[in-house]
Amino acid sequence: MAVTFLFCFLFGRFLYVQVIWSEELNYRALDQWTRELPIVAQRGKITDCNGVVLADNTTAYTVYARANAVLDKEKTSVVLAQTLGLDNQKVYEKLTKKKASEITVAKKVGKELIENLSATSLDGVYYSRDNIRRYPKNNALCQVLGFTSSDNIGTTGIEKYYDEYLSGKNGELLYETDLVGIDLKGSVATYLPAEDGYNVELTVDYGIQEIVESALEKVAVEYTPTSAECIVLDVNTFEILALASYPSYDLNDVPRNDMELLNKLTRNGVVCDIYEPGSTFKIVTSAANIEEYLKGNKAAFSTNYVFPSSRTRAVDGTTVKCWSNHANGKHCNQTLAQALNNSCNPCFTDIALSLGTNTFYDYLSAFGFGKRTGIDYGGESYGLLLPQTAVRGCDLARIGFGQTIAVSGIQLACATASAINGGYYYTPRLVKRIYADDGYVLKENEATLKNRTISEQASKILAEMLEGVIKEGSGKKAYIEGYRVGGKTGTAQKYENGRIAAGKYVSSFVGFFPTDKPKYLALVIVDEPKGAYYGSVVAAPVAGEIFQGIISLKNISPSKTE
DSSP for 403-455, written as a single string: -S-BB-HHHHHHHHHHHHTTSEEE--BSEEEEE-TTS-EEEE----EEEE-S-
* b (16+ CB within 10 A) / e for 167-185: bbeebbbbbbbeeebbbee
**Looking at the domain assignment, is residue 215 inside a domain?**
yes
Query: Do residues 547 and 480 lie in contact, with contact meaning Cβ atoms separated by under 8 Å?
Result: yes
**pLDDT tens column, 332-354:** 679 999 999 998 898 999 999 99
pLDDT at 180 over 50: no
Distance CA 139, CA 45 (A): 17
Which range marks the domain in which residue 387 is found?
Answer: 206-428+450-554
Beta bridge partners of residue 195, listed in sequence order: 169
Question: Contact at 8 Å (CB) between 428 and 373?
Answer: yes
Instruction: Report the largest interatomic distance among the alpha carbons of the chain, rounded to a whole angstrom.
Output: 112
Q: Stretch 294-306: mean pLDDT, rounded?
A: 96
Assigned domain for 561 exists:
no
Handedness of CA 373, 469, 236, 158 (dihedral sign): negative
Domain with residue 414: its CATH number is 3.40.710.10
309 tagged catalytic: no
Q: Please name the amino acid found at residue 377.
A: Y
Please tell me the distance from the alpha carbon of residue 415 to that of residue 408, in angstroms, as a whole number.
11
E strand map for 238-317: 240-246, 312-315
The stretches of 51-192 forming alpha helices (DSSP H) are 73-84, 88-95, 111-118, 142-145, 157-161, 163-166
**Mean pLDDT along residues 293-307:** 95
479 part of a folded domain: yes
CA dihedral 553, 555, 558, 560 (to 10 degrees): -140
How many distinct structural domains can be found in the chain?
1
Q: Does residue 176 lie within any of the structural domains?
A: no
pLDDT tens, position by position, 391-447: 999 999 999 999 999 999 999 999 999 999 999 999 999 999 999 999 999 999 999
CA distance 279 to 488: 7
Q: How far apart are CA 544 and CA 321, in angstroms?
A: 29
What is the total residue count of the chain?
Answer: 562
Between helix 73-84 and helix 88-95 the angle, nearest 10°, is: 140
Q: What residues pair up with 500 in beta bridges, in sequence order?
A: 495
Across residues 238-246, what is the average pLDDT? 97
| pTM, 2 dp | 0.86
> Residue 153 falls within a domain, yes or no?
no
Return the minimum-mean-pLDDT range out of 16-30, 46-60, 498-512: 16-30
Give the phi and the psi of residue 148 in degrees, each rounded to 5.
-110, 165
Asked if residue 489 belongs to a domain, the reply is: yes
88 domain-assigned: no
Q: What are phi and psi of 101, to 5 degrees?
A: -80, -25
Please tell me which residue, 330 or 384, carries the higher pLDDT value.
384
Residue from 552, 561, 550, 551 nearest 464 by CA:
561
pLDDT at 12: 60
Q: Which entry of 227, 279, 381, 474 is annotated as an active-site residue?
A: 279
Cβ atoms of 279 and 322 within 8 Å: the answer is: no
- Report the sign of the C-alpha dihedral through residues 428, 240, 538, 465, in that order: negative
Task: Evaluate whether 44 touches 196 at the Cβ level (below 8 Å).
Answer: yes
Of the candidates 431, 423, 480, which has an alpha carbon nearest to the alpha carbon of residue 144?
Answer: 431
Is 417 contained in some domain? yes
